[in-house]
Structures are given as structure tokens and as C-alpha cells.
Amino acid sequence: MKALIELLRVPSLLTIQDAGRKGYRKLGVPVSGYMDDYSARIANYLVGNPGNTPLLEFLIAGPSVRFNASAVFAVVGDVEVRLNGVPIEPWTSHWAKRGDILEVGTLKSGLYGYIAFAGGIKCERLLESCSTYPRANLGRPLRTGDRLSLGHALLTGREGRYLPPELRPDYSGNKREIRVVLGPNLEHFTEKGIETFLSETYTVTPESDRMGYRLEGPAIEHSKAGADIVTEPLLPGAVQVPANGKPIVMMRDAQTTGGYAKIATVVSADLHLLAQSRPGMKVRFRAVGVEEAQEILGRLEKRMEAIRAFLEGKMRAYKVKVGGKEFTAFAGKVK
């Protein structure tokens, strides 16, 4: 395969990710994939790719890239971007020609950023996915000097797509509210322990990574049943509470089984908010029912489809005020 891009500088964790490995958890293989699937899918939509196309995910500091052929790309994140030394807009698709150099700076907010290329990154699919999971030798983090190939794509019409600020996710601030569905091991916690979990503020610790986010805060009290359970299935979003009472939220690279009692599961639509929480970020949890969690996810998916159609020129976006609050509405049809 012809190498179309070359990594000139890789200052932090940089991996190839897609939507992850589906159907292999029963064999002990984690899902992996985008830590923030919301931002990653938008990055792909900006360059005209399907939402699950392989792209680059970087941790805090972005790479420098040289193009060895023409390409269309987009950088997603609260970050400064330069092409041949000239500042360009993130959340926008740009045309690069052979010899051009892309420099991505350090995120001002959030933890993960994304770089998508029209046609996606060509890579060896292992268990039907290109997602990097180094613990099982399913790919490896990228390094300075690595060369990557891109999939074939007609570039015409993919340049100049722009997502305005009001449609972008906002990862600024120092506090998050994360919605959860309580359970499934509530019998392992006292009423006081459950109340503590839902009323107190927790802090993301530096020990957090793609496997799990460790939180510091008031200890969650276990019942006489204790912290340990018979090992059972585990999925991203599950909130385990070991004997020390400090919650651990499982993330995209989480193991597939676990033996600590689970007090709750983060709703799928909020997992990207937690993923983008830096160490030191404050987190509070709010309980919702299963039906409400499904409705929340449904609304998010409808918004994603509207954003995709907007970027393809099939819908218009406009601002409306309701009850003194400003919202973005879409006009048109999603096909």
C-alpha cells in the first residue's frame, strides 16, 4: 500500500480507532474503539465518511503530519491547527496537497481529539475492527516516523464542510453531571451508600485511562453482602465499587468480566462526556430509568443524523429561544 501520510511528531498517545469490536466480548475481547464516539463520528461526517470509519485519536496533544498525496481531512477538538504554518479552523474539512504539513496543537478543553481523512485510514482489520488495543497486541500506539495509507475516495465536494460552534460538543468547565441507571448489584450497597453516590461530588484521578476512570471522593458504603461478587459480565459504563468504596467507571478498553459489585451504569449517551473529563474534573451522578436512558440515546442519535445531513447540505440549522434558553433546531429531512 502506498503511504499517503507520514507522522513527523507524536507527542502523546496516538492510536487508530473505529467504532470497536462487536460480538467478541463473550471471548474476552473488549469493545475498544472511539473514547468519544460523538466527536469521532462528527469528524468522519466532516470528510464525507461513514461514522464508523477508522481515524486518528490523540490524547491531549496532537501530532504533526506530512501529506504525500492530496487528501481531505478534518481535525475535531478545542485545539489550534496549522497547515504549512498557517492557522486553519478545526471542525472544518480542508484540502491538503502533496508536501503539505499539518500541525495539531494541545487541546484547551477535553481529553481526546480526532483527525479524520476522506476514505479513512487503511489498516489491518483484526476481529473485524481496526481499533487499537495494545494489551492484547491488537495494533499498537503510533510513533514518529510511522507511515499510513488512506482509503480511496473522490475528494471533490468534501472540502469546506464546517460545523458551527453551537453544534459542537462543549467539554469546557470543571464539573459534569453524568446520568446513570442504578444497578445491577444494589443489594451490595446500603441506602446510605446509594445516597452518597448520587449526592456527592467525585473527582477524576490521574490513574484513569482508556480501561477505566478512577474517581476520588466520599466512600460508598457496602452492605453486609460486601464489595465482591461472583465474576460476571462487564461493559463500558459500568460503575464498580471495590472495598475502598471509591467508584471506578469502566471505559472502552474495559475487561469483559469483573468481580466487584456494580452500583450503576452510565447511560450510553453520556459516556463521551465522562471520556472527555480530565484528571481533576468534578463529576456528579444522577439516576434515570431504563426507558429514559433509551429516550436520551434516541434523541442523541437523531441529533447525530441531523448533523450529518446538515454537513451534507441536506438540512439547515437555525437558533431558537425557548423560555429564555437558546437552542439549535434543524429544518429539512434526513434521508
Model pLDDT, residue 296: 97
Q: List the end-to-end C-alpha distance of the chain, in Å, as a whole number.
A: 35
Q: Mean pLDDT over residues 133-153, rounded?
A: 94
The H-or-E segment that residue 302 falls in is helix 290-311
pLDDT over 90 (residue 265): yes
Q: For each of the domains in the chain, give its residue range(s) and CATH number, in order of start.
A: 5-167 (no CATH), 175-288 (2.40.100.10), 303-332 (no CATH)
Model pLDDT, residue 210: 96
Q: Mean pLDDT lowest for which of 153-162, 207-216, 231-240, 250-259?
A: 153-162
Cβ neighbours, 10 Å, residue 82? 14
CA distance 199 to 215: 14
Model pLDDT, residue 1: 46
CA distance 69 to 100: 9
Strands (E) in 267-305, as ranges, are: 282-287
Peptide bond into 134 cis (omega under 30): no
Q: Computed from CA positions of residues 58, 64, 65, 71, in that sequence, does the dihedral angle turn out positive or negative?
A: positive
Model pLDDT, residue 266: 98
Burial 190-210 (b: 16+ CB within 10 A, else e): eeebbebbbeeebebbeebeb
C-alpha cell at 68: 504525500
Tell me what percent of the residues of the chain surpass a pLDDT of 70.
Answer: 93
Q: At residue 40, what are phi and psi to the nearest 5 degrees?
A: -65, -40
Model pLDDT, residue 327: 59
pLDDT over 50 (residue 332): yes
Interval 16-51: pLDDT, tens: 999 999 999 989 999 999 999 999 999 999 999 999
Q: Mean pLDDT over residues 151-160, rounded?
A: 90
Model pLDDT, residue 157: 86
Model pLDDT, residue 4: 87
Interval 278-292: pLDDT, tens: 999 999 999 999 999
Q: Mean pLDDT over residues 137-159, rounded?
A: 93
**pTM (two decimals):** 0.94
Interval 188-199: pLDDT, tens: 999 999 999 999
Helix/strand/coil for 256: coil
Interval 299-327: pLDDT, tens: 999 999 999 999 998 877 666 666 666 65
| Helix 37-46 × helix 290-311 angle, to 10° | 20
CA distance 219 to 57: 34
